[in-house]
Amino acid sequence: MDYSVERERMLRDQLMARGIDDPRVLDAMAAVPRECFVPEESHGLAYDDHPIPIGYGQTISQPYIVALMTQLLRLPDRATVLEIGSGGGYQTAILAHIADRVCAIERDPRLAERARETLDGLGFGHFEIHVGDGFDGWPDESAQFDGILIACAPDHLPEKPAAALKPGARMIVPIGPEGGMQELNIVTRQSDGRLKTEVHSHVRFVPMV
């Protein structure tokens, strides 16, 4: 099916009407076919403003939250991004539409393989998905990132990923207890090396384990 009408409605009613105004984010959300990242029986719900189960106890975040977190990163041109909790790959695709390189970590190898197949099928070539523990950060400990997006909720700030932030770069991370209300945090690496944290809003994500 052609979901272009639903995609345009999503852009207008869910994103632009709620303050998403970064042209790169809007272009990415318009270009990436969200229906490709949800189970076939949920294709008709792909552009509704709510999370959708994708199997193995995981969900794809609602479109507004995907766009919001991406916009909050404030990525520079030619960015390299770390994503933790890539799930089925939708957020990965949005980031890959904007950044030059996306390094993603997914704990479940079944979801990681599904994401690779979907992203490859859509023609994305500048991403890597590593199966592992997001708390450990990217396997190459020397890697530094222009932005880090965590799409699952730890109960505390993950230290190893945070250490990989470049000066001036941001980490967007929901922090809080499983099953409860969590706080979406903007963590910025300042020029003196310290981390500055501010709470943006309240959200609810699956736990980071």
Query: Active-site residues: which are they?
Result: 61
Tell me the C-alpha distance between 33 and 68, whole Å: 18
Dihedral through CA 119, CA 64, CA 152, CA 144, nearest 10? Answer: 70
Tokens of 132: 């592992």
CB 46 within 8 A of CB 3: yes
Strand order in the sheet with 80-84: 127-131, 101-106, 80-84, 145-150, 165-175, 182-189, 195-203
Sign of CA dihedral 20, 55, 47, 114: positive
CB 139 within 8 A of CB 130: yes
CB 189 within 8 A of CB 167: yes
